[in-house]
Amino acid sequence: MYLHKELETLTRTQIENLQLERLKKTVRQCMNSPFYKKRFDDLHLKPEDIRSLDDLYKIPFTTKQDLRDNYPFGLSTVPMEKVVRLHSSSGTTGTPTVILHTQRDLDEWANAVARCLYMVGLRAGDIFQNSSGYGMFTGGLGFQYGAERLGMLTVPAAAGNTKRQIKFITDFGTTALHAIPSYAGRLYEVMAEMGIDPRRDTKLKTLIIGAEPHSEEQRKRIEDMLGVKAYNSFGMSEMCGPGVAFECTEQNGLHIWEDYYIVEIVDPETLEPVPEGEIGELVLTTLSREAMPLLRYRTRDLTRILPGECPCRRHHKRLDRMKGRSDDMMILKGVNIFPIQIENILMQFEELGNDYLITLTNEEANDLMTVEVELKEFVDDYPRLQTLTKEIVRRLKDEILITPVVKLLPKGVIPKQEGKAVRVKDLRKTLI
């Protein structure tokens, strides 16, 4: 049940003791970086002032902008000859950020990913196929080394060429696949075109899905389509990549490895901690990184800590499914809306496929939202389409409080991305 038994079964007190010890070490390490040294000096703060976990609040936040301002190597805390690899984020929201790793960092990262994979029942003997892009994107090498560390035969299929991906699955007897959620649906469609029934013709039993927000409905769809269990995987390149938080077999939230990270949830406006169990911005402090430790890093991801104990008996806190990033939030007519709220509704309609695109435009002072969504099957019954469209509009309006224009499209019309899906296009012009 546990790969790293001592670490996965720590009690809360043991976790906190370990965190304090590692936090003190991390803060001392950070003093090797001119950036953190100056931050501390400016506040007359010394590493010795961090005596308890509560003293963390004395330390200022680190932001994506800090990483960009010090691009590429300004936050390094080790001599460059100790650095063996760099990764950078996908750059979804602007200039990419760079993260440096020593060999020890890479080893620890592989351990964290291996621990996640073991937690969902994968073992040596499983055949693990990775459909992530390799290269700078951490989902490639991150899962590669983690899966190898666990002793699985690991197939670095990489992104793209879906038919080839499926051929590997059938030829090699792949039992576990890592895919971004939007790609899992695509795989199923192409399997259907090729006359392949995943239940009958493949050995797939486990899917690891992550790297982009997805709804519980979408998970269920993936499980039903492919006949697998699908587990949510959360990570980001600033925190190494995959392996930060992962669902256990209970599928009720993502355990965050608190021997590697200190987790805080703060109000994104006031930056004060939110009350227990409420949604806010996830802030993470690395506890086991040499080349580029980060203190109180504002991830911009919105989530909450789930209250209560997990039946799996791990005491590491559980994060709720991500609601999105603070920068994904759309403000329309003064209402805050997240794309995931729209997905949640769309995925409840059996007639609809997995792909959709939200476009925001404005005419005069009026914001307009258009939701284009693909149909699962071809429908040429016009009255039926009209009734369906009306019902979708009604349900969306109940959820987001504004009335969108809904367009039902034939399958395959919305452009597919190789990496993370683009769900929102904001074409609004600034009005003077």
| Candidate ranges 84-92, 111-119, 308-316, 359-367; the one touching ligand ADP (CB under 6 A) | 84-92
Tell me: does residue 233 bind ligand ADP (CB under 6 A).
yes
Chain centre distance of CA 346: 21
Which stretches within 275-414 are classed as H helix?
339-346, 382-400
| Token couple for 67 | 């990483």
Give the whole-angstrom CA distance, residue 166 versus residue 197: 11
| Near ligand ADP by CB under 6 A: residue from 185, 210, 280, 293 | 210
312 lines the binding site for Zn ion (CB under 5 A): yes
Separation CA 195–CA 15 (nearest Å): 50
Q: Which is nearer to ligand ADP, 190 or 306 (CB)?
A: 306
Considering CB distances under 5 to 8 angstroms, the limit depending on partner class, which of Zn ion, ligand ADP, none binds residue 213? ligand ADP
353 near ligand ADP, rule: CB under 6 A: no
Closest approach, Cβ 365 to ligand ADP, in A, equals 31
- Contact between 247 and ligand ADP by CB under 6 A: the answer reads no
Separation between Cα atoms, residue 414 and residue 25, nearest integer Å? 49
User: Taking CB under 5 A as the rule, which mask of x and - marks residues 236-275 in contact with Zn ion?
Assistant: ------------x-x-------------------------
Nearer to Zn ion by Cβ, of 140 and 253: the residue is 253
Residue with Cβ nearer ligand ADP (212 or 264): 212
Q: Are 117 and 150 in contact (CB under 8 A)?
A: yes
Please select the residue that binds ligand ADP; options are 17, 92, 249, 387, rule is CB under 6 A.
92
Please say whether the beta carbons of 355 and 373 come within 8 A. yes
Q: How many residues touch Zn ion (CB under 5 A)?
A: 5
Q: Which of 29, 33, 77, 89 binds ligand ADP (CB under 6 A)?
A: 89
Q: Where are the beta strands (DSSP E) in 14-134?
A: 83-88, 98-102, 127-130
**Angstrom distance (rounded) from CA 286 to CA 280:** 19
Cα 274 to Cα 243: distance, rounded to the nearest angstrom? 25
Residue 133 contacts residue 159 (beta carbons within 8 Å): yes
Position among 310, 368, 375, 385 found at the interface with Zn ion (CB under 5 A): 310
State in angstroms the smallest separation of the CB of 322 from ligand ADP: 3
CA distance 326 to 339: 11
Report the distance separating Cα 198 and Cα 227, nearest Å.
Answer: 7
Cα 301 to its chain centre, rounded Å, is: 9
The smaller minimum CB distance to ligand ADP, of residues 97 and 202, is found at 97
> Using CB under 6 A, which of 117, 236, 332, 400 touches ligand ADP?
236
Q: Which of 168, 234, 261, 338 binds ligand ADP (CB under 6 A)?
A: 234
Q: Where are the alpha helices (DSSP H) in 52-197?
A: 64-69, 103-119, 138-149, 162-172, 181-193
- Report the residue from 66, 126, 212, 374 that binds ligand ADP according to the rule CB under 6 A: 212
d(Cα 4, Cα 235) in Å, to the nearest integer? 19
Minimal distance, residue 69 CB to ligand ADP, in Å: 17
Give me the least distance between CB of 85 and ligand ADP, in Å please.
Answer: 15
Enumerate binding residues for Zn ion (CB under 5 A). 248, 250, 310, 312, 314
